[in-house]
């Protein structure tokens, strides 16, 4: 398995084989029945094109009223988020090189039109913890730059089963999803892409 590493950005292409991808997708969809995908609204009042839910003690949410934050409950059901799938906790232990376990897993669902604009993940308490992402389904065109929005960027394809880690000097790198290549995978029924990002959002233990 090849590995691209530079300044804290690590890509593990094909880290999950097709059977592991199917198993993880089943674990995800079982939890989504209790915590449905919904469309968050930015602090500026714009509905996002990506639909989201979360697993774990804390979930990342946004709305026009209170902006970006982590909270323990689903904004629509009011219920606690489902647990993080054990396979993801194993993956974190193996690949994240973190001082402790994650407490949040953001789940993004992309249809053919969905995009995510260039952003930093900076709503977490402790940037010594990396963010680890797992991609399932259609391939995404991921863009990653430096810690300034003006830094040059490059494009990386994230395919089903790929794992990527933003840690160290890349923890606060700007990144986003330019587009999703519709029909590039058959994994997700009805098409689309699911990205799971594991984080440590709250105080470290
Ligand atoms: C996505 N990913 O792949 C969006 N954030 O759908 C992210 O925003 C991301 O892939 C932090 C670390 C890795 C990521
Ligand atoms: Fe991000």
Q: Flag the least confident range among 3-12, 70-79, 85-94, 173-182.
A: 3-12
Quick check: CB of 177 below 6 Å from ligand 1? yes
User: pLDDT at residue 86 above 70?
Assistant: yes
- How many angstroms does the Cα of residue 120 sit away from the middle of ligand 2? 6
- How many angstroms does the Cα of residue 16 sit away from the middle of ligand 2? 20
Residue 143: strand pairing partners: 155, 176
Ligand 1 atom nearest 175 alpha carbon = 8
Q: What is the DSSP letter of 184?
A: S
Give percent above pLDDT 70 in the chain: 97
What integer best gives the mean pLDDT of the chain?
A: 95
Quick check: CB of 160 below 6 Å from ligand 1? no
Mean pLDDT of 167-172: 95
The pLDDT of residue 204 is 78
pTM: 0.96
Residues 6+ positions from 143 with CB-CB distance below 8 Å: 118, 153, 154, 155, 156, 175, 176, 177, 178
Cβ < 5 A residues, ion ligand 2: 121
Give φ, ψ of 71 to 5 degrees. Answer: -145, 160
194 alpha carbon, closest ligand: 1
The pLDDT of residue 205 is 64
User: pLDDT at residue 5 above 70?
Assistant: no
- How many angstroms does the Cα of residue 22 sit away from the middle of ligand 2? 24
Quick check: CB of 21 below 6 Å from ligand 1? no
Mean pLDDT of 73-87: 98
Predicted confidence band of residue 2 (pLDDT cuts 50, 70, 90): very low
In the chain, the domains with their CATH numbers are: 4-199 (2.60.120.590)
- How many angstroms does the Cα of residue 176 sit away from the middle of ligand 1? 7
pLDDT in tens, 117-140: 999 999 999 999 999 999 999 999
Quick check: CB of 133 below 6 Å from ligand 1? yes
Mean pLDDT of 34-48: 97
User: pLDDT at residue 78 above 60?
Assistant: yes
- How many angstroms does the Cα of residue 117 sit away from the middle of ligand 2? 9
Nearest to 20 by CA among 149, 186, 129, 160: 160
Residues 6+ positions from 173 with CB-CB distance below 8 Å: 8, 9, 120, 144, 145, 146, 147, 166
């Amino acid at each position: 398995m090849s590995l691209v590493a530079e300044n804290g950005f690590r890509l593990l292409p094909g880290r999950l084989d097709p059977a592991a991808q199917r198993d993880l997708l089943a674990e995800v969809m079982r939890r989504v029945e209790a915590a449905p995908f919904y469309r968050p609204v930015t602090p500026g009042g714009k509905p996002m094109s990506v639909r989201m839910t979360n697993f774990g003690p804390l979930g990342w949410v946004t709305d026009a009223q209170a902006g970006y934050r982590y909270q323990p409950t689903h904004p629509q059901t009011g219920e606690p988020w489902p647990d993080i799938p054990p396979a993801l906790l194993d993956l974190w232990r193996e690949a994240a090189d973190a001082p402790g376990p994650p407490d949040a897993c953001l789940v993004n669902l992309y249809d053919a039109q969905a995009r995510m604009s260039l952003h930093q993940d900076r709503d977490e308490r402790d940037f010594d913890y990396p963010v680890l992402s797992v991609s399932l389904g259609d391939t995404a065109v991921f863009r990653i730059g430096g810690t300034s929005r003006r830094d040059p960027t490059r494009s990386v394809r994230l395919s089903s089963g790929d794992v990527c880690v933003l840690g160290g000097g890349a923890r606060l790198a700007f990144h986003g999803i330019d587009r999703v290549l519709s029909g590039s995978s058959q994994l997700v029924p009805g098409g689309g892409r699911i990205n799971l990002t594991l984080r440590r959002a709250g105080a470290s233990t």
